[in-house]
Structure 1
């Protein structure tokens, strides 16, 4: 059960109401909880939006799913299974991420997944970095680290607010 009130757009000052319309999950409880701090919610959305631009949608969702699974975080996993599917991640790939398997991924996707898991667990090794650097330039490598770390922070905020999936959890195996 949420530890903070779950607000709606009409509960916010007019200048912040647009935030509920400017994301891919609408009025999900994550945003309803964050709305208790509307200025921080606004900056969170701005930062998130910029991080989402680092990679194409499918690769972005691979990074987020890998981080969510490494953390065993049901809310982030649940939300991003749907978003991943919409971005072109197959159920076979989602299951492989859940099981920590490298197949059916190519070298580029495998590097993203390995690196995202390592960032989420706070254990990036030189080999993880080198593998990702073979596929991407330094700007993307740093951006991927920031994206994965952002979802670690988001998971911890969700935990602190007591936010759980709004519907029955999709499960680790899809």
Structure 2
């Protein structure tokens, strides 16, 4: 049971209800919990949306999956397995990210995964940074680090709220 109420759109002040109707948040527990602070949810969604533009959809999902797995964060992993698949991440790639078998990924995806894991765990090394820089410009590398940091913060907030997945956990090897 979540530590904060999981709100419905009708529970929000009128000026914030659009956050559920004009965005693709659905019934996700993450947003229903964050809705207890509707202005912060509004800013969270704006920032998230901007960070999602740092990379193409498939690569963004690889970064988020790698971050979730590094943190062993079930909620974020569960959500982004589905989103990753929708973006074109294969089950074999999802398993490689989960298992940490980077040799099963192409070099760009392996670089994204290694860098995301390192940043999520607070231990990015020059080699991880340089390897990612072989594929992306400095602005994108900064954006990737900020995307990872955002998902680390999101995971910690979800932990604080004790938010569970909407369905049974998909597992680390879906």
Deviations 1:51-79 (A, max 9, x none): 00000000000000000000000000000
Q: Which runs of 4+ in 1 moved over 2 A?
A: 21-25
TM-score, with normalisation over the residues of structure 2?
Answer: 0.97
Equivalent residue number for residue 134 of structure 2: 134
Give the deviation of 1:98 after TM superposition: 0.5
TM-score, normalization: structure 1? Answer: 0.97
- Measure how far apart 1:164 and its partner are: 0.8
Find the aligned partners of 1:40 and 1:91 in 2 and give their Cα distance: 34
Q: Deviations over 1:112-168 (max 9, x none)?
A: 110000010000001000000111000000000000110000000000011011110
Distance 1:79 1:2, change over 3 A: same
Matching residue of 1:153:
153
Q: How far does residue 7 in structure 1 lie from its aligned partner after superposition?
A: 0.3
Shift of 1:104: 2.9
Instruction: Give the total of aligned pairs.
Output: 174
- Greater CA drift, 105-114 or 57-66: 105-114
Partner of 1:37: 37
CA distance in 2, matches of 1:48, 1:100: 26
Larger CA deviation: 9-18 vs 149-158? 9-18
Q: CA RMSD in A?
A: 0.9
Segments of structure 1 that go 5 or more residues without pairing to the other structure are: none
SS of 1:164's equivalent in the other structure is coil
Residues 1:70 and 2:70 are matched in the alignment: yes
Structure 1 partner of 2:122: 122
| Distance in 1 between residues matched to 2:83 and 2:162, nearest whole Å | 22
